Amino acid sequence: MTTSRTVAVAGSPVHVLEGGEGPAVLLLHGSGPGTTGSGAWSAIIDALSPSWRVVAPDHAGFGQTPLPPGSRGGLRVWTDQAAGLMHSLGLESYAVVGHSMGGAVALALAAARPRNVTSVVGVAAMGAPGAPLSADLDAVWAASPDRDGAREMLSRLFLDPAYVTGSAVDARAAAMRAGAESFASMFPPPRARWSEDLTLSTRQLSAVRAPVLLVHGAQDRVTPLRTTALPLLDHLSDARLHVLGRCGHVPAVEHAPEFARLLRDFLARSALEPSGAGR
């Protein structure tokens, strides 16, 4: 069973979906227009909630979480808000799972809060030093908030066109329209600067002490394996990479059963290992 509520973090409202009981897992969504915590993670919340307490917020500027006054988002805003949310919920020890932009936020959070973050799962994660803005990510951020824009964007996210259904396009277009003004303020052109903002330094990555699982689609065009996941392996002290063949940018959807199994196994194993938070 999941609940939806708003939590005040540093004086700003944060919309969050919660479910389950047990060790805490924070789920951080990506940056595509119209993305929300519930939209990105509803199936994973169901898969984890029998054994974990799952927290899935909307990042500032997405879904039902407004940008703080004077803010245009960015890695530091999203990282500080995620840490503040877990503190406000009274959760001082937790795993973090982040997709795409959320992967960069998850790694930044682990670097900044080593005593709080027990493990990290980066799914098609951004954050690698020197990673260029891909043409497909640039196009995703530039997608127009209408049916044509939603269809084109989803076609870039998924390898299998079967996921780009009429209902999926309609739902995404509606979400894009609802958040259009906020999104436009966060990712105006030239967009390479926003990709650079989501890049972690080698110092930050070396500060990540929690075990990290990277999950990536072999055919991901938005955050290509070669320029994102592979370079992260050079800078993280305790990382492993699982590559899914015939998979685009959204492994949690295109390979849902295997992804859920990987996630459960890694979280359970990491919770039992002594090399968790604060090591």
The predicted-structure confidence for 85-117, as pLDDT tens digits, reads as follows 999 999 999 999 999 999 999 999 999 999 999
pLDDT tens string 157-168: 999 999 999 999
Report d(CA 39, CA 172) in Å as an integer.
Answer: 9
- 277 in a structural domain: no
- 279 in a structural domain: no
Q: Which residues are catalytic?
A: 100, 220, 249
Looking at the 3D structure of the chain, how many domains does it have?
1
Count Cβ atoms within 10 A of the Cβ of residue 168 and give its class: 0-12 exposed, 13-18 middle, 19 or more buried.
middle
Is this model's pTM higher than 0.95 or not? yes
Identify the CATH number of the domain in which residue 20 sits. 3.40.50.1820
- Please list, in sequence order, all residues whose beta carbon lies within 8 angstroms of the beta carbon of residue 265, skipping any fewer than 6 positions away: none
Q: How far apart are the first and last CA of the chain?
A: 34
- 94 in a structural domain: yes
Q: What is the pLDDT of residue 45?
A: 95
Domain that holds residue 167: 2-272
Q: What is the pLDDT of residue 276?
A: 45
Position 271 pLDDT exceeds 90: no
